[in-house]
Amino acid sequence: MSDEFNDRRMTVTNKRRLRNLAQYRDMPEEEFDELYDKKLVDAAPVKEFEDRIERKMKEFENDYDVTDMKINDRNILRALCQAMITLEDMEQASYRMRAEGFNNENIVRMEKLSRAQSDLRSDISKLQDDLRITRKIRKGEREESVLIFIDKLKDKARRFMQARQQYIFCPKCKMLLATVWTLYPDEPRNRIRVICNRVLDNGEKCGEAVLVGTKEMLEGRGVNIEDVPESFKT
């Protein structure tokens, strides 16, 4: 019981000493408690490693927009950076082994290291998929964006042409007889005459003669009748 009490007292004493250090004096209580608990199990962050992670994360920030990342995504990004750094270290270790020459001991070590590298690359690939930053996904998103842009451009062109063209309908059977574009649609002397030859249900032709001026259609929002068919409106 006394040994357990002494250990607990030493732990509290060490915690107070650590708390009084300049770098921890102004740290929030919860953050300091978490840091101290990690130190007790020798899991406190190593500055050199943390600096490498920070640099790697900044590289991603330069290439991708991470400003709206939630905490879960940032943890995945951190895990990805750690994995990439570990893979870099493994590749350095593998190079040093090869430089030492091939012997039975080195071959076994290199095989184990190679398997570990392969597993790590697989983990990196999965993390990239989770963050949607693989080349395939980025390329697919770019292609999708281009297609959307083209569709919008087509729609804009269609609307542009519709706004400048004029449409002549048969006032009797509502059939579209002509689509016209004139340089001077507000010229009152512009007159267009068309004949409707639509075959009706009884087998006869409509035969309606339509005479309309471009100025009249301009004032009528580009059409010569008020009750435009619904199919034309869509």
Q: What span, in angstroms and rounded, lies between the C-alpha atoms of 234 and 228?
A: 11
Q: What span, in angstroms and rounded, lies between the C-alpha atoms of 131 and 76?
A: 8
CB of 91 closer than 8 Å to CB of 110: no
CB of 172 closer than 8 Å to CB of 206: yes
Residue 14 backbone dihedrals phi, psi, to 5 degrees: -65, -40
Model confidence over 166-217: pLDDT tens digits? 999 999 998 999 999 888 989 999 999 999 999 988 999 999 999 999 999 9
Query: What are the boundaries of each domain within the chain?
Result: 2-137, 165-233
Using DSSP's 3-state secondary structure scheme, residue 178 falls into strand
Model confidence over 127-162: pLDDT tens digits? 888 887 655 555 556 666 667 777 787 777 777 766
Q: Please, what's the b/e burial string for 11-40 (b: 16 or more CB within 10 A of its CB; e: otherwise)? A: eeeebeeeeeeeeeeeeeeeebeeebeeee
Q: What is the pTM of this model?
A: 0.41
C-alpha closest to that of 13 among 36, 45, 42: 36
C-alpha closest to that of 44 among 23, 58, 60: 23
- DSSP assignment of 182-196 equals -S-TT-TT-EEEEE-
CB of 154 closer than 8 Å to CB of 146: no
Q: What span, in angstroms and rounded, lies between the C-alpha atoms of 154 and 147?
A: 11
- The pLDDT confidence band at residue 23, using thresholds 50, 70 and 90, is confident
Model confidence over 57-97: pLDDT tens digits? 888 877 777 777 778 888 888 888 889 888 888 888 888 87
